[in-house]
Amino acid sequence: MRIALISRRFPPLIGGAEKVLSYLAPALAEQGNEVTVLTSLPPGSGLPEAEEVPTHRGSCTVRRLPTSRLRFVGTWRYMKNLQRWLNENPPELAYVSMLKHDAYVAVEAGRRLGFPVVLRPEGAGATGDLAWQSWGNFGRTIGERTKQADAVVAISKPIEDELRRAGYNPAKIHRLPNGVPVPEAPWRRRDDWRNAPRAAYVGRLAPEKGLDTLIEAWPIVRKAFPRAELVLHGDGPEGPSLWAGIGKLGQGDAIDLPGPTGDPTAALREADLFVLPSREEGMSIALLEAMALGIPLVASSIPGNRKLISDFKDGRLAPVDDPEGLARVIVEQWTQFDRAFHMTRSARKKVEGSYSVTVVARQHLELFRSLIDDRHGGPSG
């Protein structure tokens, strides 16, 4: 089938949502489909307007649509170019990331041109898509339009619950998880890890990630492991305040913020523990990547993380916003490293069975085919 996968941002502009789609697009193509990723072309980025993503089967093309540096003008221009592309190249189905401007354009085009549209909110809570619809420019108007989509994918129960409360048709909500590639070679412990054990975080430096709690926990961790290191890979609005907190605690020799990494798997292979201290998560891609790699991990005990991690089975869960509790669990993982290593096998097996991008792509395609069949009144060929 011909699938348009739509996202305002796409790699190399990286965030959790963008990474999900960068994994899913070629995985859908590998099932023999023609996938076109429609995204924006940031002015001055030097990125090509069209780019082929290598696949063994099917095809995957990224098409970047011109926009503008001016905030509102850029959104308007992107929406007009997206509408034009869909008019000239109507797909058999459109899959849209976020319940925002892209979704507004796609739902209107789908209703007019006769192709089903599936929407995918990327978060819940104060930073989620439905919260944005309550305060964003034209958010309420966009919200009314997005309720007309043929289906909505919820990656977690909190997102599903928010959709129901917002008035989305429960029959149109489908629970499908995020998916990640499973590296062929699993993580291996470093020979000299005990001398200076290293923990790593990968993701945005944003308030909801709870990194201030992790930084406050680090002096406590170093009482047990005096040379312990912490590396926070990523960028975001919280960067300056995190640096200030590191300096205030006198942890500049132990905590590093090197910026974003283009290869999170390689970054985690250099670490001895993955830590995710979030206050809010839908379904963390970084956590799934750590599980798929098979590195020992500690995650905050919030609903999104508990969906993926069973405490003492796949990894460890730590109390939220509790520096002492978080430090205690980190120290336990390193003190009882053989037990921590045993948990990694369960985590990796769980991803292989339920959250690998190949499995998730097949689940999406089942939904897509059923929607196309319903639209045309019978099974597709």
> What are the tens digits of pLDDT across the range 292-313?
999 999 999 998 899 999 999 9
Query: CA end-to-end span of the chain, whole Å?
Result: 9
DSSP helix/strand/coil, 308: coil
Write down the pTM of the prediction.
Answer: 0.89
Measured distance CA(18)–CA(127) in Å, rounded:
16
> What are the tens digits of pLDDT across the range 18-37?
889 999 999 999 999 999 99
Measured distance CA(348)–CA(294) in Å, rounded:
5
Mean pLDDT of 265-291: 95
DSSP helix/strand/coil, 6: strand
On whether the CB atoms of residues 36 and 305 are closer than 8 A, the answer is no
Mean pLDDT of 188-203: 93
Q: Provide the pLDDT confidence category of residue 375 given band limits of 50, 70 and 90.
A: confident
How far does CA 70 lie from the centroid of its chain? Answer: 27
pLDDT at position 334 is 97
Measured distance CA(151)–CA(292) in Å, rounded:
29
pLDDT at position 11 is 81
> What are the tens digits of pLDDT across the range 71-119?
889 999 999 999 999 999 999 999 999 999 999 999 999 999 999 999 9
Share of the chain above pLDDT 70, in %: 98
**Domains annotated on the chain, with CATH:** 2-179+356-376 (3.40.50.2000), 198-354 (3.40.50.2000)
